Each structure stands twice: as structure tokens, then as C-alpha cells.
Structure 1
Amino acid sequence: MPKSLPPSVRRQIIEFDPLAADGSSISELCQRLNISRPSFYNIRRRFLQEGNKALNPHSSAPKNPVRTFDKKTTEIVLRIRARLKKEGWDNGPKSIWFTGVDTNEFSQPVPSVATIARILSSSGVTNSNPRKRPRTAWLRFARSSAMEMWQLDAFEYRLATELAPKMTVYQLLDDSTRFDVGSMCFADPENGTDAIITLSAAIDDHGVPKELLSDNGTAFNQSRRGNISATERFLADRGCLGISGRGGHPQTQGKNERSHQTLLRFLDARAPESLEQLATLIVDYRNYYNYRRRHQALPGSMTPGPAWDAAEHQPSDGTPISHKELQARADAYRDKSLAKQAAEPDSNSAGALPAATLAQSEQLAPRGGRLRDGSDEVVITRTNPQIYFRGLRIKVPTHLVGSYEVVSSETEYAMFDRSSGDESIYFPLPLQTASTRDQFALWQVRGAKIRDPKPAWLSKHLSYELEHFPEE
């Protein structure tokens, strides 16, 4: 830090007259006093503004001195944090600051967020996490208008009773404003029927969004598996396009994944013991989340409710999306996946497997209709009469128990009896069904055929196709 000029030097600068006869120039004076020209002009300018105060340097004391808050402020901060934690809400420095300001619990002057963070740290109530990335490293992305895209995801929640079953909670958020448009809960595991009920209720209240983002669960979106789910068809009929994130990359649905934490804390703090209590708490959560809880990702850390009301809404125009267009997208995903698999080098081409590995693989018996490693053999057992296809479980009649060879192409899937060579199970690809679950009967698959079908199986299959896949 440079030293300040002494008053004697400042006096010479102030009294210097550059127009005096036989006087030295400004540059010569600066050279003689060992100062720079900017220093000369700064002293002269300050003398014109402040007079003789220019003979002394400005005070080096900070303009805003460090304010020491009393014990009362510390007690208020810790009280607000304890209350937020007990109620299951976020209780960091920003959340405490917003709560204290909104409830007028802080007296003037209001402590800053940094001051609250120091109080929490000195009180030993924070958990440091040095591995957490700084917020400056985050790259946020969101749609510019409300109703451009919603995000749907589900998670399991166990009730607070002994041997309590797991409930399924569906969270539905607007991507732009983070507004909770209709979270709901159900007793059954994740399935398309409950997902459609959740979407239908939200659409009745707010309209149809342009797009719906979800993960690749069979209840939501199966396009990356080469299939079309009932949820996708439901949305397409109302003019909404269902899209999904890349497999194994939940960051795409990061807004919804993060909202799970907030809802889980809220529920854990209240410990619901029944589905009815859980549903009531979710309604309370939505009201508080949308209109009272400040959202730090929104401008000015506003709540989602006012952000939703103030945002421009760009919903779908309601034009139905053809199911053929959905199938074309699913086919494109399937073709891309097949091309990627074909481009990958064959693991066996680098050399033969060790004899011990081969012997071990030959001893592995296929179980429950799963493909055996290294072959296309499928075994259907009486205790587990079903086959597995791209994450789906398809139940088959018990008279088809046996060992089969699978032959499949891009358009057909068939299983042949290994002893007789007869075709026993067949269905066209891509697989089409109106079922919203990941387990269903083979008679629910469009175009399915089996060996020696029973009259009851044929009747159910024909009725199902006439109801869900009428000829166009």
C-alpha cells in the first residue's frame, strides 16, 4: 500500500502556480517532489472541492464498519432455524433471512446472509461439505415461459407405521416457474394409470402444456425403448409431446429430483400414517411451496406462485399429435441404439474366452424366461410363466412351459420350441399394448399369437384388440 503524501508536499502542490514567470513546469515539479502527474491533479482537484482538508489524506477506516450483533439476534437466528427444521423446510442462511424478513422477526438493522452464516457456523449447527461445487459452477437452463414444459417424476414413500406399505408420490412441476401444478399420491407402485390421473387433474386445472419431460420409466415414457406408453398416447391426444432425458442421466430432470428433497423433508417432519393423511399433507405442502417458500432459482428469490401468475403462458394449441409420429420417434431411437450396438467392437473378437469362464457359463441355467448369457435360449417355468422383453414382463399361459429358442428382427419377435421346432410365441415389433404397467398378459399385445391357444385366451385377445386397436 503506497504511503500518503505528507502535508508539506501537499502544500507545495496546492500553492504551485504554473503560470508564474520564470516558474517551473508541472512535470518539473512532479519530478522534484517525486510524485506522479495524476497525484498532482488529484490533490489540486480535492483542494478545489474540500479546501484545506486536502492537506491530509482521507481516512482509511472502512465506510461500512463490521457490525457486531448482540445475543438477541443470535437467538432469533437459531430460533428461526430450529422452527424451519422442525417443520421440514430448508433452513440455510438464505432461508432464515427470507423467513425473518417476511415475518418481521428481525429488528433493524437486518443481519445479512453472510452474518447469519457466521452465526450458524460459530454456534456449531451447520454441517460443512467441502466437496460441494460452488454455485458459480452451476449452469441453469429453463424454459422461458410457463406451460412450455412440465416435469413429471415419482418416488416411493413409506408411511410412519409398523410394517407400513410404500406409497407412490407423483410430483408435477412447471419447468419455467417451478410452480407445483398437481402433485398427488397413490397406494400402488409407479404405473401409467396413476400417472395419467395426476396429469388429467393438472390439465383440468391449468390447461395442456406443450411438452412433458420425464425419465424413461415404463409408466411415463418408453420411446427410447422403441415402444409407446399409454401416458404418451394420453398426452398426444391432447396436443402435448412426451419427451424423456437420456438414460442414466437424471440431471436432465434435476428440478424435479431436487424438489423431491424438499417434499421428503416436509413429510418426514409430520410422519403421515395413512394414505389420506399423506394426501392432505401434500395439499398443505403445495400451498406453502407455491406461495410462501422463497425459491432461490427464481428472479429475486420470489415464490413460484407469483412467478406463475406473472409469467407469459404458452400452452399447447390442443392439436392432437398422431400416434404414427410417436411411433416414428420410437423407431428412430431404436434404430440409433441398434446402430450404436453394431458400431461397438465385439468383446469376443479380441480373443477366445478362458476355458474356465466358458465352463462356468455353460453351467448357468436360464431362470424365469430370462435370456441366458451368450445364447438366445429362454426357459418358461410353471412357477414363473412369463417372458422378459426390454424391461417388460409378459405373462404367458402355463401350457407354454418349456425351453425355447428366440428369433427376433426389427419387425418380429418369435420363440420356437427347442424340442419340436414349433413356433410357440409370436408378436410384431415394435411391441404395442394399451397397458400402463410393466407387467401384463400376452393377450394384451397387439398381433400376438401362441401355440394351441385356448378359447378363453382367443376371446380376451380379440376383445382387447377391438377395444384398444380398432382398424382405422
Structure 2
Amino acid sequence: MTSTLSASAERELERRANHKLAVLRHVEEVSGNVAATCRYYGISRQAYYHWLKRYEAEGFDGLRDRSSAPHYSPTATDAEVVEKILWLRQQYHFGPEKIAMYLKRYHDVTISVSGVWRILKKVGLNRLPASQRYKRREIRWKRYEKQRPGHALQVDVKFIEPLGQTGKKKRYYQYTAIDDCTRLRVLKAYPTHDQKTAIRFIDHVLSKLPFKVEKVQTDNGTEFGQSFHWHLLDKGIDHIRIRPATPRLNGKVERSHRIDAEEFYRLLEGQVIDDVNLFNDRLQQWEDYYNYDRPHGALAGSTPYERLKQKAQDPLS
């Protein structure tokens, strides 16, 4: 493919050089007048004399197009920064805004969102493959954020596709809890999917979160049935079930599962993970990164833990 493109570009250079030569010969062999030839071909006399000077000095090769790029561009982005931008785009499929956020936070590199976009466009990476693009909905729902940590906790379950397994495949389920205010998350994988598992998970969540949980919000799955419901009430925690067929009401946990797919599970492709403890080791690493290191666009580039500290200092922020 590359050689075909190079041959095509070479033919175009040859064609343009022949056109310039035809203009020069038109003066000598047809019109005998530079001004008349320039009017005929729609070019300026400055262009004609520029081509003539190069032709006299270098022959036909002097008529070939040359790069108009400056020999030195003091405002050009460093190659190392460009490499980081391309790596984040190809590895994580981040958009320009998130790439600029990462460069500022982790590399102390300040670059505008438009600057990142121009670099991606230059190398043809400004548009993701169709399978990786976010599909916008016709109806956009406004999400409200609770102002107090623990005021509302969204809980959901994600089925984990077996990774690299052969033969009889094991099934795993990722239970996820996310705080509506700070976006702090707790994750754990289980080989079972029922109310007993959901109760074990919520007890695990309550033991890890550094604040009191007032309300838990779930969908209407059987794992969040009556036993789970009364278990929460016994702990003094309200349990709210969203209306059927309205996953947008659990939007924060749904969105976090999409992040898991894009930034965590996609990077595990090709690895064999057939042990729930190994799954949980990896999930714990990802949970720590998400909570303590990953800048969050909805939090203006802060991490969930930084948001928690901010709320502790200024509850009204």
C-alpha cells in the first residue's frame, strides 16, 4: 500500500514539473511574450521567472515541487510530546480533552485541546474506528450530582467475558459500587450471581468506603431482591430501585462500566485469567488507579479521592 502511494505521489510531481516546463516552452515556441503566456496559463510573472531561474540552474529537476515547511519551527510540538499524544490515543482511545488533561497532570506538559486535535488530524487519528466511537443518543439526559459523599451509592453488576479460556468456561460477575458525589468506586469479582453474593459485596463496600452510606440505588435485578433490600434496611440504609428499562437513572455506574471496557478489559485481551482471585487482584489494581490516579473529566480533571478531600474541607463545593 505504501509503495502504491509513493508511486502515485511521484507521478503527480512529474506531472506538475512537466506543466511548468510547458509554460516555459510556450514563451519560447508559441507566444514569444511572457505576459501573454502568463495570462493564458493564469499565473503570475513572478512565478514564471521563479520557474525559469530554477530551470536554468538545475534543469528539469529544478521544476519539481519542494516542501514549503520551514527549516526550523520554534512553536512546533516536541516529538516526545507528539509520541505521548499518539500513544494515549492508540492505547486508550482518549479524546483530545482527556489527552491534554493527562499530559498536564502526569507530564507537566501544557498543550491546548485544539493543539492535540491538530496533531491527531495530521496523522489521521482524529476519528476513532466506528466500533470505538461513543454512540450519541437522540435524547440527552441531564445528570444531577449529589453534594454529599455517601448520600447515594449506585450499584450494578457487569458480566465478565471469559478471558483466554478453553473448554468449559467459567463465568464471572463484576459487582460495582460508585459514590454519586465523589465517583469513588469499589469493585469485586464473584463466580456467583445471586442475592447472597450481592449482600457479601455490599458489606465489602461498606467496610471500604471512608464515609457513611445513606442510600443505595440499584436496578430491578433478582440479585437485588427482598433479602438484599432488608439487609440494607437493617443497617439503616435506604434501598431505591430505579424504574424498569431506565438504565440512565443509574448513569454513573453504567458509564463507569464503559470506562472499564475501554481502559481495563480491552488491555487484558489475549491474557488467560481463569481464577477469581487473580481477577480480583487485577480489579484491585484498576480500582486503586481509578480512585487515586485517573483524572475524571466530570470532576474537572480531579481524581475521585481528590474530590473526596475537597468535600471534606468544603462540603458546599
The normalised TM-score by structure 1 is 0.45
- Measure how far apart 1:312 and its partner are: 4.8
User: 2:302, 2:244 → 1: CA distance?
Assistant: 33
Q: How does 1:332-371 map to 2 (within 5 A)?
A: none
Q: Are 2:277 and 1:273 equivalent residues in the alignment?
A: no
User: 1:105, 1:283 → 2: CA distance?
Assistant: 27
* Alignment correspondent of 2:96: 93
* Alignment correspondent of 1:296: 297
* Alignment correspondent of 2:153: 150
- Measure how far apart 1:169 and its partner are: 0.5
- Measure how far apart 1:143 and its partner are: 1.0
Residue type of the alignment partner of 2:183: R
- Any idea what the Cα deviations from partners look like across 1:8-65, whole Å, max 9, x if unmatched? xxxxxxxxxxxxxxxxxxxxxxxxxxxxxxxxxxxxxxxxxxxxxxxxxxxxxxxxxx
Q: How does 1:37-436 map to 2 (within 5 A)?
A: 69-70=76-77, 72=79, 73-82=81-90, 85=91, 89=92, 91-104=94-107, 106=109, 110-125=110-125, 126-127=127-128, 132=136, 139-160=142-163, 161-163=165-167, 164-180=169-185, 182-188=186-192, 190-206=193-209, 208-221=212-225, 229-265=226-262, 266-270=264-268, 271-274=271-274, 275-298=276-299, 300-312=300-312
Equivalent position SS for 1:169: strand
Q: Percent identity?
A: 23
Residue type of the alignment partner of 1:81: R
The 1:131/1:243 distance shift into structure 2, 3 A limit, reads: closer
User: 2:240, 2:294 → 1: CA distance?
Assistant: 29
User: 2:158, 2:151 → 1: CA distance?
Assistant: 24
- Measure how far apart 1:165 and its partner are: 1.9
The 1:272/1:295 distance shift into structure 2, 3 A limit, reads: farther
CA contact (8 A) 1:212 1:240 kept: yes
- Measure how far apart 1:239 and its partner are: 0.4
The 1:130/1:173 distance shift into structure 2, 3 A limit, reads: closer
User: 2:138, 2:102 → 1: CA distance?
Assistant: 24
CA contact (8 A) 1:90 1:262 kept: no
CA contact (8 A) 1:80 1:100 kept: no
Equivalent position SS for 1:115: helix
Residue type of the alignment partner of 2:84: I
The 1:237/1:100 distance shift into structure 2, 3 A limit, reads: same
User: 1:234, 1:272 → 2: CA distance?
Assistant: 36
Give the number of the structure whose residues are more often helix, by fraction.
2
Residue type of the alignment partner of 2:171: K
* Alignment correspondent of 2:36: none
CA contact (8 A) 1:158 1:165 kept: no
CA contact (8 A) 1:208 1:240 kept: no
The 1:122/1:293 distance shift into structure 2, 3 A limit, reads: same
User: 1:133, 1:121 → 2: CA distance?
Assistant: 25
Residue type of the alignment partner of 1:285: W
Residue type of the alignment partner of 2:159: E
Residue type of the alignment partner of 2:102: T
The 1:239/1:262 distance shift into structure 2, 3 A limit, reads: same
Q: Which has the higher contact order (CA 8 A, sep 6+)?
A: 2
User: 1:119, 1:134 → 2: CA distance?
Assistant: 30
- Measure how far apart 1:134 and its partner are: 10
- Measure how far apart 1:286 and its partner are: 0.7
Gaps in structure 2 of 5+ consecutive residues: 1-73
User: 2:175, 2:84 → 1: CA distance?
Assistant: 36
User: 1:144, 1:75 → 2: CA distance?
Assistant: 39
* Alignment correspondent of 1:466: none
- Any idea what the Cα deviations from partners look like across 1:50-103, whole Å, max 9, x if unmatched? xxxxxxxxxxxxxxxxx9534624333213434xx2xxx452212211221223
Bigger drift between 285-294 and 72-81 goes to 72-81
User: 2:290, 2:76 → 1: CA distance?
Assistant: 31
Equivalent position SS for 1:132: coil
Residue type of the alignment partner of 1:258: R
The 1:102/1:169 distance shift into structure 2, 3 A limit, reads: same
- Measure how far apart 1:289 and its partner are: 0.2
User: 1:134, 1:304 → 2: CA distance?
Assistant: 29
